[in-house]
Structure 1
């Protein structure tokens, strides 16, 4: 499953939203601001493809997301990324539910839903807090740390291991495989095609072993649910299970990890907002929603038009790719009077538009409640114990047009006595 790297193209002064360097250098918000004002449904040519429609306004993203009959996620139509999933060399897995349309999507989603019901999530709170406490206990007494490896990456991977029913010692492998899966445009993460293929094969072999174990000895973990659930009397086939496993590995940590790191960066850059949380920790749940809006850790999702249609006067043809830019919709001036202000109290007020960092419609992230719980507990404990924690040097971002992530972030803080 070797995904093609994005190739930049000269668009005569117009933004190439496919270019990973646009996000690496944090130039995308200005590009999206211009497009929302001038060309909210924008045709973006590709150097190595037919081009795609870029949807940048909040209302249009909602409309596309909620009409799967007209705008398909299905793998056989191209899937959920800008590139066509059905044209990738070496992709012998079947589609996961993120690349399915109704009614198939609903059936597979029901297989995993029991793992994310509110009661199950709330029962994890004590264990998540214990993990956060342990990670913060291990912060260096020097008052300096690399935050991604120490906290932001470690917490969601440990929680993912619990969901899978595997030892926490397997976490580093899951982390490496996740990075390789989404890092096709980052030379540090995609060292070579051979390395990428090695990671995919290792992950498939690991998943296969878990599948066999859970068939023989089921538990109440996600893998057992996948191995034993049935749709229309039939069990999930093995290729679809592998695709679903890869989806869960990526979705189970990328959004949370990059919201944690992006949230701490936002608080460091907005000390007045951090002080509000120190003065009133009850604002932290609101801050979590604002962090996801502000960071937009998943930059886009793609659909394919199943018939000719029109959006904001633009004629979209059957087969055209339609890419919804969550990072743009989350700063739409038509939804918020001050979308470029980071405001931890924004979601404490009634009637505020929901952030769309977890998606919209049928593909709304199943793990959103778990991600929010992790973020809430992390910032409660982090600010209580290290109220002056601050980004202390240059950060290194992931080179990607899909995940808005941070690979390295130095922090400083006053150690506990």
Structure 2
């Protein structure tokens, strides 16, 4: 038998057993079976090293205390050194698109200050009536006692409308924002070369579209939208194109996924916990706290990533410079030591619901948190005005990814209570 030339012989790829504590696996979230491994991590290994995963080696930080410690030390645990998701940047295949959430101080501080005026209490007051009007219009258009998809009809439409207003985006094209958000936020796509390229194509399309909007506003008086705020700021007026795209993606995904998936969780979660729903229906005074509780229970972004800038110690574990850490907000928001043994349930009267980490913690806490809370609260209020109850008629289709924790579809019917 002829021998195989040395330079063409290939060993079969080595197959490793599934690590039950590798919580980056997409199927855990697709099938909604992530609770048990995180419970084990919180109890026995709050800072746990995963040597092999689809995203390489990383540390899981799964408890409330551990995440707050990391988020409180941004000089030691960098957002910029490795980005904000478990997916690594590939110099040979990727295009770097900086965004301020993935920057460290001082750049992060100056760019965040640029967009923060869009989310002040005065801006919330200015936008409230329009948000209520649009919410009322959508709820009034829904069919009663007839199946429909809550995600697309309510959650996606409300959040996409809000994004269009924030960006002064052409109304007829607003669903492009949803498309770009879905492609940008799905980190599973970068693991396949074909979808990686498709994702990059969509990001460049997004950048080209927004570049035209930017160009149309140059030299014009300031207006209360995010593009105008960038143009009229020292920190962001002269961004190079890839940084411009990166910050757009941040604002689109941040504005879309947090609110959209919380609005879907509102429908799904209250149906799963009828006692909580009954309490809310009996007393709308619970709505403000229910908003925090729904955000805690859902946690629309499951993790953020940090990279150690030097050797350090975290909760008894030795972290080396360059190590990747996944901060599992999803797990911290179910931490029994903070939220009690019923942390997997929705309690609209939970006394410490506002301590949730769904918006992050520290210098990178979500800049649009107030707006997200207001949109969810107005949705609950307008549902209460109509005595509208959402009845889930089939299990949702969930996002199969470890970053965005959300819903693709949710079949429901609405009835009056």
TM-score, length of structure 1 as denominator length: 0.91
Name the residue aligned to 2:157: 154
The alpha-carbon distance between structure 1 residues 87 and 345, as it changes in their structure 2 partners (threshold 3 A), is farther
Quote the Cα distance in structure 2 between the aligned partners of 1:389 and 1:105: 40
Quote the Cα distance in structure 2 between the aligned partners of 1:191 and 1:89: 11
Structure 1 residue 170: deviation in Å? 2.1
The alpha-carbon distance between structure 1 residues 190 and 263, as it changes in their structure 2 partners (threshold 3 A), is farther
Q: Any idea what SS the aligned residue of 1:248 has?
A: helix
Give the one of 201, 206, 209 matched to 1:203.
206
Q: Any idea what SS the aligned residue of 2:67 has?
A: helix
1:253-292 correspondence to structure 2 within 5 Å = 253-292=256-295
Name the residue aligned to 1:5: none
Instruction: Give the root-mean-square deviation of aligned CA atoms.
Output: 2.3
1:223-262 correspondence to structure 2 within 5 Å = 223-231=227-235, 235-262=238-265
Cα pair 2:87 2:187 within 8 Å, conserved = no
Cα pair 2:186 2:403 within 8 Å, conserved = no
Name the residue aligned to 1:59: 65
Quote the Cα distance in structure 1 between the aligned partners of 2:76 and 2:18: 32
Cα pair 1:278 1:384 within 8 Å, conserved = no
Quote the Cα distance in structure 1 between the aligned partners of 2:206 and 2:309: 33
Quote the Cα distance in structure 1 between the aligned partners of 2:103 and 2:186: 23
Q: Is 1:78 aligned to 2:79, yes or no? A: no
Structure 1 residue 186: deviation in Å? 6.7
Quote the Cα distance in structure 1 between the aligned partners of 2:196 and 2:75: 35
Structure 1 residue 50: deviation in Å? 4.3
Note the residue ranges of structure 2 that are not aligned, 5 or more in a row: 1-14
Cα pair 1:268 1:274 within 8 Å, conserved = yes
Structure 1 residue 167: deviation in Å? 2.8
Give the one of 105, 111, 117 matched to 2:120.
117
Quote the Cα distance in structure 1 between the aligned partners of 2:19 and 2:74: 33
> Which deviates more from structure 2 when the two are superposed, residues 233-242 or residues 189-198?
189-198
The alpha-carbon distance between structure 1 residues 302 and 92, as it changes in their structure 2 partners (threshold 3 A), is closer
Give the one of 44, 55, 68 matched to 2:50.
44
1:5-404 correspondence to structure 2 within 5 Å = 10=16, 14-47=20-53, 50-74=56-80, 77-85=81-89, 87=91, 89-93=93-97, 95-141=98-144, 143-185=146-188, 192-218=195-221, 219-231=223-235, 235-337=238-340, 338-346=342-350, 349=351, 354-404=355-405
Q: Any idea what SS the aligned residue of 1:255 has?
A: helix
Q: Any idea what SS the aligned residue of 1:69 has?
A: coil
The alpha-carbon distance between structure 1 residues 268 and 10, as it changes in their structure 2 partners (threshold 3 A), is farther
- 1:158-199 alpha-carbon deviations (Å, 9 max, x no partner): 011111012322211110111111224379x99844532331
Q: Any idea what SS the aligned residue of 1:414 has?
A: strand
Structure 1 residue 223: deviation in Å? 0.4
Q: Any idea what SS the aligned residue of 1:304 has?
A: strand
Quote the Cα distance in structure 1 between the aligned partners of 2:33 and 2:297: 15
> Which deviates more from structure 2 when the two are superposed, residues 125-134 or residues 375-384?
375-384
Cα pair 2:204 2:245 within 8 Å, conserved = no
Structure 1 residue 383: deviation in Å? 3.5
Structure 1 residue 389: deviation in Å? 1.8
> Which deviates more from structure 2 when the two are superposed, residues 119-128 or residues 214-223?
214-223
Cα pair 2:280 2:286 within 8 Å, conserved = yes
Structure 1 residue 412: deviation in Å? 0.8
> Which deviates more from structure 2 when the two are superposed, residues 155-164 or residues 335-344?
335-344
Query: Which has the greater radius of gyration?
Result: 2
Structure 1 residue 333: deviation in Å? 1.2
Quote the Cα distance in structure 2 between the aligned partners of 1:305 and 1:144: 49
The alpha-carbon distance between structure 1 residues 164 and 353, as it changes in their structure 2 partners (threshold 3 A), is closer
Quote the Cα distance in structure 2 between the aligned partners of 1:92 and 1:69: 22
Cα pair 2:132 2:378 within 8 Å, conserved = yes
Structure 1 residue 89: deviation in Å? 2.0
Q: Any idea what SS the aligned residue of 1:381 has?
A: helix
Quote the Cα distance in structure 2 between the aligned partners of 1:312 and 1:11: 28
The alpha-carbon distance between structure 1 residues 51 and 193, as it changes in their structure 2 partners (threshold 3 A), is closer
Quote the Cα distance in structure 2 between the aligned partners of 1:287 and 1:10: 43
The alpha-carbon distance between structure 1 residues 32 and 215, as it changes in their structure 2 partners (threshold 3 A), is same
Q: Any idea what SS the aligned residue of 2:101 has?
A: helix
Structure 1 residue 353: deviation in Å? 6.1
Cα pair 2:329 2:360 within 8 Å, conserved = yes
Structure 1 residue 44: deviation in Å? 1.2
